[in-house]
C-alpha cells in the first residue's frame, strides 16, 4: 500500500473539503482558517525509510564539530558564517556534554520523483507547528473521516505531547516533577505573541507544567537562580531565534540568561547551539564531500538521498554532484533557473530568492549573488516537488498543490508532520505560512494494528480509537 494509493482512495470517498473543523484558540490565532482540504499520508515503509535517513543524516550533521573542528563549537560556528560574538553565545548556552544536541527537530522537505529531499532542518524549541496534532484530532471528530482512517489502519503522532516529553527528558524534570517553566521571547516580539503564549501555557498546565511567560528584559539573576519578574525559574523555553536577538548581543539583555545557563542555574530548552546545527550553513558543510569525511557508508548514503546540492556562497571552486569542479560564482550565474539563494540562518523563507521565479531577472540575480558573497548565504539546487491532489473548495474535481512536509522528530523518533502547501499554479514560489500557505496534518499507516504507547514515546495512536 502506497501513500499515493491511500490519497486516491480518500479522494474517491471525499470529493469535498472537510471544512470548517473545530479549532483550538491557538490555531484560530495562528492560522486564521487557512486549512488544506485533506490530510496527507505516509505509508509504513516510506515512513520507516524516511525516519532512518533522518536519523543517519542527523548523526552526520551533529558530528561535524568532532570530525572537522576538533570538537570546537566555536570553530564550527565561525565556519557556518556566524560572528565571533554569536559563536561565544552558542558556547555559553550549550548543553554540558559536547555530544548532546537536542532531539527536538523539524525537517522541512519536498517529495519529488526520487523521494524526500531536505530543504532545511529546524532544530530546537523554535521549530513551530506542534499543534498539527490538533488538526488530526479535529479530523477524527468527523465520523466519516474517522471511519476511513480506521479502515485504512491510519494513525497520527501526538506532536505536542512528544515535545513536552522531550523537554522533560533534556532538562532533567521527569513526569511527576513540577518545574517552573518560563516561555521567553524578546522584548520587541513578546507583545505580538503574548496571546499565543498564553494559550500554550494553559495547555501545558494540563500536562503538569507550571508555565510563566515573559521576555528577556524581565530576567534577572540573584541568589543563585534565574528569575522572571522576581520568581525563580527552573526551565527557560526559548521562543526567540538567534536572528531575533542579534540586536541584544551587546546591550546586556541576553546576559542574565546566558550567565545562568553557563553556571547551571537554569535549564534551557533549547540552547542556542540548536540553531547552529539547524543553519543552512551547516547543511552546506555536510553536503560538500569534505564535510562527509569520517562518515559511515550508511550515513553517506542517507545524506546522498536527502540532501540537495548545497554550498556556502564564496569565491572559489566547488564540486558538483558528478564530481566536476566549477567556479561557484560563474556556475550560479549560469544556472539561475536551477538554484536558490538562502541566508544561512534565517527562518520561514525570509530572504530566500528562487532563481526560477519569473519576477527575478538575471540582473536581480547577479545583484543578489554579489550581496550574498559579502554575507552569510548558501546556494542550493532547486527541488521541484511532485504535485499532490486535493479536493477543490469550489465546483470541479481535485486540484494540484505543492506540499512542504515539516517532519518532526523527538526523543523517541518520528513525532508528526506539519503540512504547508500552495496551489501548484504558484510555480516555484517559496512555500511558507508568511506568504499565505495553507496548513494541514498527516496520518501514517501502521503495519500491525495499534502501536503501543509509553510515557516517553512519540505517542502514536490508531485513529480508529475515538476515545482520545
- 111 and 211 part of one domain: yes
> Which pLDDT band, with edges at 50, 70 and 90, does 465 fall under?
very low
- 210 and 124 part of one domain: yes
For residues 247 and 96, which has the higher predicted lDDT (pLDDT)? Answer: 247
For range 144-153, the mean pLDDT: 94
409 within a domain of the structure (yes/no): yes
> Which pLDDT band, with edges at 50, 70 and 90, does 97 fall under?
low
> Which pLDDT band, with edges at 50, 70 and 90, does 456 fall under?
very low
Q: How confident is the model over 390-421, as pLDDT tens digits?
A: 998 877 789 999 999 999 999 999 999 999 99
Tell me, what's the pLDDT at 21? 73
Dihedral of CA atoms 16, 17, 19, 21 in degrees, nearest 10, equals 120
121 within a domain of the structure (yes/no): yes
- Indicate the angle between helix axes 132-140 and 143-151, nearest 10 degrees: 100
Q: Which of 362, 381, 400 is the last residue of a domain?
A: 381
Tell me, what's the pLDDT at 447? 65
> Which pLDDT band, with edges at 50, 70 and 90, does 26 fall under?
confident
Tell me, what's the pLDDT at 282? 96
Long-range contacts of 209-212 (CB under 8 A, 24+ apart): 209/164, 209/178, 209/179, 209/181, 210/178, 210/179, 210/180, 210/181, 211/181, 211/182, 211/183, 211/237, 212/180, 212/181, 212/182, 212/183
Pairing state between β 460-462 and 180-185? unpaired
- 228 and 335 part of one domain: no
274 and 102 in contact (C-beta within 8 Å)? Answer: yes
Q: Which of 349, 381, 413 is the last residue of a domain?
A: 381
Average pLDDT across the chain, whole number: 89
Tell me, what's the pLDDT at 40? 96
441 within a domain of the structure (yes/no): yes
Give percent of the chain with pLDDT exceeding 70.
92
Task: Tell me the C-alpha distance between 128 and 434, whole Å.
Answer: 13
For residues 382 and 246, which has the higher predicted lDDT (pLDDT)? Answer: 382
Torsion angles phi and psi, residue 183, rounded to 5: -90, 115
- 360 and 390 part of one domain: no
For range 113-135, the mean pLDDT: 93
> Does residue 99 carry a pLDDT above 60?
no
300 within a domain of the structure (yes/no): no
Domains: count for the chain: 2
> Which pLDDT band, with edges at 50, 70 and 90, does 451 fall under?
very low
122 and 185 in contact (C-beta within 8 Å)? Answer: no
Dihedral of CA atoms 346, 187, 211, 137 in degrees, nearest 10, equals -40
467 within a domain of the structure (yes/no): no
Tell me, what's the pLDDT at 351? 84
- 336 and 430 part of one domain: no
Tell me, what's the pLDDT at 34? 86
411 within a domain of the structure (yes/no): yes
Among 79-83, 94-98, 268-272, the minimum mean pLDDT is found in 94-98
- 38 and 150 part of one domain: yes
Largest CA distance in the chain: 67
414 and 47 in contact (C-beta within 8 Å)? Answer: yes
Tell me, what's the pLDDT at 425? 86
Q: What cell does 192 get?
A: 505580538
For residues 64 and 97, which has the higher predicted lDDT (pLDDT)? Answer: 64
- 373 and 418 part of one domain: no
> Which pLDDT band, with edges at 50, 70 and 90, does 22 fall under?
confident
298 within a domain of the structure (yes/no): no
Domain range holding 178? 3-278+386-462
Tell me, what's the pLDDT at 18? 77
> Does residue 452 carry a pLDDT above 50?
no
- 178 and 205 part of one domain: yes
Tell me, what's the pLDDT at 461? 46
- 160 and 90 part of one domain: yes
Q: Which residue has the cell 475515538?
A: 466
331 within a domain of the structure (yes/no): yes
> Does residue 431 carry a pLDDT above 50?
yes
Among 241-255, 283-297, 423-437, the minimum mean pLDDT is found in 423-437
Which residues lie closer than 8 Å to 88 by C-beta, 6 or more apart?
Answer: 74
Q: Which residue has the cell 546522498?
A: 304
For range 308-325, the mean pLDDT: 96
- 318 and 404 part of one domain: no
For range 40-48, the mean pLDDT: 95
Q: How confident is the model over 369-388, as pLDDT tens digits?
A: 999 997 889 999 999 999 99
Q: Which of 335, 359, 381 is the last residue of a domain?
A: 381
- 141 and 187 part of one domain: yes
CATH number where 377 lies: 3.30.1490
- 183 and 319 part of one domain: no
Beta partners for residue 326, in sequence order? 318
Amino acid at each position: 500500500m502506497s501513500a499515493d494509493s491511500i490519497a486516491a482512495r480518500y479522494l474517491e470517498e471525499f470529493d469535498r473539503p472537510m471544512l470548517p473543523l473545530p479549532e483550538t484558540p491557538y490555531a484560530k490565532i495562528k492560522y486564521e482558517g487557512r486549512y488544506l482540504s485533506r490530510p496527507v499520508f505516509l505509508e509504513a515503509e516510506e515512513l520507516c525509510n524516511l525516519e532512518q535517513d533522518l536519523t543517519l543524516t542527523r548523526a552526520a550533521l551533529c558530528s561535524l564539530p568532532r570530525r572537522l573542528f576538533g570538537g570546537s563549537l566555536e570553530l564550527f560556528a565561525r565556519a557556518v558564517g556566524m560572528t565571533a560574538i554569536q559563536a561565544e553565545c552558542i558556547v555559553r548556552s550549550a548543553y554540558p556534554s559536547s555530544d548532546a544536541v537536542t532531539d527536538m527537530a523539524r525537517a522541512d522537505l519536498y517529495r519529488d520523483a526520487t523521494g524526500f529531499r531536505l530543504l532545511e532542518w529546524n532544530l530546537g524549541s523554535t521549530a513551530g507547528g506542534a499543534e498539527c496534532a490538533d488538526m488530526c484530532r479535529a479530523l477524527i471528530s468527523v465520523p466519516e473521516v474517522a471511519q476511513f482512517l480506521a479502515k485504512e489502519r491510519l494513525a497520527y503522532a501526538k506532536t505536542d505531547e512528544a515535545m513536552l516529553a522531550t523537554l522533560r527528558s533534556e532538562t532533567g524534570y521527569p513526569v511527576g516533577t513540577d518545574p517552573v517553566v518560563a516561555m521567553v521571547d524578546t522584548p520587541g516580539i513578546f507583545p505580538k505573541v503574548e496571546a499565543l503564549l498564553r494559550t500554550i501555557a494553559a495547555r501545558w498546565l494540563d500536562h503538569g507544567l507550571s508555565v510563566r511567560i515573559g521576555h528577556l528584559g524581565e530576567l534577572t539573576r540573584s541568589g543563585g537562580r534565574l528569575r522572571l519578574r522576581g520568581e525563580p525559574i527552573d526551565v527557560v523555553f526559548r521562543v526567540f531565534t538567534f536572528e531575533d536577538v542579534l540586536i541584544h548581543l551587546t546591550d546586556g539583555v541576553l546576559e542574565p540568561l546566558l550567565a545562568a545557563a553557563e553556571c547551571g542555574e537554569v535549564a534551557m530548552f533549547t540552547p542556542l547551539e540548536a540553531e547552529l546545527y539547524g543553519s543552512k550553513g551547516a547543511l552546506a558543510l555536510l553536503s560538500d564531500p569534505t564535510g562527509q569525511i569520517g562518515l559511515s557508508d550508511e550515513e553517506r548514503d542517507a545524506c546522498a538521498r536527502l540532501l540537495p546540492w548545497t554550498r556556502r556562497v564564496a569565491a572559489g571552486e566547488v564540486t558538483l554532484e558528478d564530481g566536476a569542479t566549477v567556479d561557484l560564482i560563474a556556475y550560479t550565474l549560469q544556472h539561475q533557473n536551477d538554484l536558490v539563494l538562502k541566508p544561512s540562518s534565517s527562518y520561514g523563507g525570509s530572504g530566500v530568492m528562487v532563481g526560477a521565479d519569473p519576477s527575478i531577472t538575471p540582473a536581480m540575480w547577479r545583484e543578489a549573488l554579489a550581496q550574498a558573497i559579502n554575507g552569510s548565504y548558501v546556494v542550493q539546487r532547486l527541488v521541484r516537488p511532485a504535485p499532490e491532489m486535493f479536493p477543490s473548495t469550489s465546483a470541479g474535481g481535485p486540484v494540484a498543490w505543492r506540499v512542504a512536509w515539516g517532519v518532526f522528530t523527538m526523543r523517541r523518533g518520528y513525532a508528526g508532520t506539519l503540512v504547508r502547501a500552495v496551489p501548484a499554479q504558484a510555480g516555484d514560489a517559496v512555500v511558507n505560512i508568511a506568504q499565505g500557505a495553507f496548513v494541514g496534518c498527516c496520518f501514517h499507516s501502521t503495519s500491525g494494528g495499534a502501536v503501543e504507547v509509553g510515557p516517553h514515546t512519540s505517542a502514536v495512536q490508531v485513529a480508529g480509537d475515538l476515545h482520545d
